[in-house]
Structure 1
């Protein structure tokens, strides 16, 4: 049986796992990364993920350190303003949170997930100490005193000092360790798609609230000469499934009504996909020789661009610990430090996004008026507004 020695075995070839491989590889560690499914790196492939990711300032800095950002910068759309609209209020409430209040840089930059995968995979090809094995999955592991022996689905083995589980919300790595997860289900789903519109988006990410969940438009580069945005439309699950099955013209009519015609008429520029909405936290984020990151450790509704940005905070923490004491890679002291630094922050931020999502779901004029007054009040107090923006970027 073939067996390879490595510093790190990463299970999971999504954006988080690929980024982990690039970051640890750039730092000089010998990395093997596996995923049972080859990454989708083309917008027109059947399995293309039509979602986009907004990288906030700390995440962008981490991508630059990993040598990924130079490949992405030319396609990234800056997010200068985060706009919140409560369309259920009478009259509607609109407030803009401008990055210039706290920084010379935008809040972040938006990119399609398929393009992220393509460019990160290209970066991995430049790193001779990274062994990327698409089409091969994690099958099990045995933790020893100094290493973990990992069995792969192709019958080979990797002997690694640290295993990073970046293999999703149903994480086989987490399950192999017997770590459970606490899951909250909202009865919600999200329809994701891209649209063109007449009005320019002005690099503004717009979150429109009514009952059921937010309708979020995130700026993208122009498409066929027209302004373009990615949309995440959250609502009760049955409604999302119904809308996703509508003919395009009927779907566009409902999307226009839900958007309050903020950018004028919306026209579909992609197919539609439906995703379940949950919150989930692993009861532990470490095991023998193992660290859980990204959706293996935490899942939350797509509000405030927190999901993948939290995942990159996991990776940044692990990388700092690994480079500070390379000889302790995967040792109990390193993993204990990772858990102490990350688990409380994960719990706090998941709870915060959970509260925001539940508030957004609520209907009834009294609740909606309270929500609108809350948005106006928080915006109106300058120190509070700035603090909220800094927390959104990951500070504190």
Structure 2
């Protein structure tokens, strides 16, 4: 079979890989993106990704660079206020609220929230109109051989690709990371995340709310209204056995428990989607590069769904690569890859460590430790320098 050549090869067609393809394609580069699984873009499909993604302000810049924001903006729910609620008392009632309003520091909201299945639909529609981007679903990467000027990539369909730059966006169990013998540190919490969408009688008023008790936060993230009825995405983190027990309930009994856990903050919640269960862990690759290869997204870092850090970190990876390409860096060169690692690794390390600390605090079960967590939230909210630092982090700085 004749060898094909592309400027950039992306292994992994999840959201990060698809956005990266759009961003590189807008630079006039030829891009091939492959993924072993087909993309699900229909909300009614049982395999649809029910999670949502909150894009923080820097991520919007990347989406604009990739030519995607005008497509996505009509479907996005702005996140104007980030609300932290402590419900760690014996009765489980909310005993302290801390509201962080983006208006205190910015003319724009903290971010914008969109359903993942819809993101895939719109990104694929954009790619379909971009001649220099090629997608192949049902295809995986089987081997990479580095040469002096390029890498040779073998694919499961028998084709061979020659490229100066391989971008590994193939997830937390990255095959490319394993091929390059790059180690990874993993933190496990014994948690699962239950993901679903709800409607509710009270408007969310563009407030994203994290309710902390035990087991992890119960987070309500605004979605656009549906026929005038307020909607939110829910990420409910619990210990593994508790999550398994909740998922075993029928929808009616499950929502009884969900309403108790929501502390009635938006009124009675009504389930509007199937429920999905996701494992929770943190992960960081020992390094971000190999010969002609850059690791990005979950092949490089994984964090629990706290503070909307996950995909936003991934778009930080994309933007770093875009900036290097625009600066004239030689694709896939040692100099380019060294600069990429130097740019991204400190930020990744800080954010993985920070989210790990926050998640461990959310897991606290002892009443005394929960009381300490409450004091910490009060101190954060009422100490101006700390409050402003937290808001800068929330804005993606």
For Structure 1 versus Structure 2, the TM-score category normalised by the shorter chain is over 0.9
Deviations 1:77-129 (A, max 9, x none): 00000000001148711010000011000000000001111111111122211
Q: CA deviation at 1:249?
A: 1.3
Q: Which residue of 2 aligns with 1:281?
A: 284
Q: 1:389 aligned to 2:384?
A: no
Among candidates 315, 318, 328, match of residue 318 of structure 2: 315
Q: Which residue of 1 aligns with 2:350?
A: 348
Q: For 2:362 and 2:36, how far apart are their aligned partners in 1?
A: 36
Q: For 2:391 and 2:9, how far apart are their aligned partners in 1?
A: 36
Farther off after superposition, 114-123 or 218-227: 218-227
Q: 1:200 aligned to 2:203?
A: yes
Q: 1:103 aligned to 2:106?
A: yes
Q: For 2:128 and 2:252, how far apart are their aligned partners in 1?
A: 43
Q: Which residue of 2 aligns with 1:73?
A: 73
Q: Which residue of 2 aligns with 1:12?
A: 12
Is contact 1:89–1:372 with CA below 8 Å preserved after alignment?
no
1:257 counterpart SS class:
helix
Q: CA deviation at 1:258?
A: 0.7
| Aligned residue pairs, count | 394
Q: CA deviation at 1:223?
A: 3.0
Q: Structure 1 residues 241 and 223, CA, compared in 2 at 3 Å: closer, same or farther?
A: farther
Q: Which residue of 2 aligns with 1:222?
A: 225
Q: Which residue of 2 aligns with 1:112?
A: 115
Q: CA deviation at 1:42?
A: 1.0
Q: 1:35 aligned to 2:35?
A: yes
Deviations 1:197-240 (A, max 9, x none): 11110010000000110000000122354211100000101111
Q: For 2:395 and 2:147, how far apart are their aligned partners in 1?
A: 38
Q: Which residue of 2 aligns with 1:250?
A: 253
Deviations 1:306-333 (A, max 9, x none): 000000001100111112124x110001
Q: For 1:119 and 1:7, how far apart are their aligned partners in 2?
A: 24
- TM-score, structure 2 length as denominator? 0.97
1:58 counterpart SS class:
helix
1:52-67 matches, within 5 Å, as 52-67=52-67
Q: Which residue of 2 aligns with 1:369?
A: 371
- TM-score, structure 1 length as denominator? 0.98
1:109-148 matches, within 5 Å, as 109-148=112-151
2:325 counterpart SS class:
helix
Q: 1:380 aligned to 2:382?
A: yes
Deviations 1:238-286 (A, max 9, x none): 1111111201111111001111111111111111000000001111110
Q: CA deviation at 1:383?
A: 2.8
Unaligned runs of 5+ in 1: none
Q: For 1:44 and 1:140, how far apart are their aligned partners in 2?
A: 36
Is contact 1:169–1:296 with CA below 8 Å preserved after alignment?
yes
RMSD of aligned residue pairs (Cα, Å)? 1.1
2:154 counterpart SS class:
strand
Q: For 2:306 and 2:370, how far apart are their aligned partners in 1?
A: 18
Q: CA deviation at 1:391?
A: 2.0
1:264-303 matches, within 5 Å, as 264-303=267-306
Unaligned runs of 5+ in 2: none
Q: For 1:346 and 1:324, how far apart are their aligned partners in 2?
A: 22
Q: Which residue of 2 aligns with 1:236?
A: 239
Q: For 2:95 and 2:75, how far apart are their aligned partners in 1?
A: 34
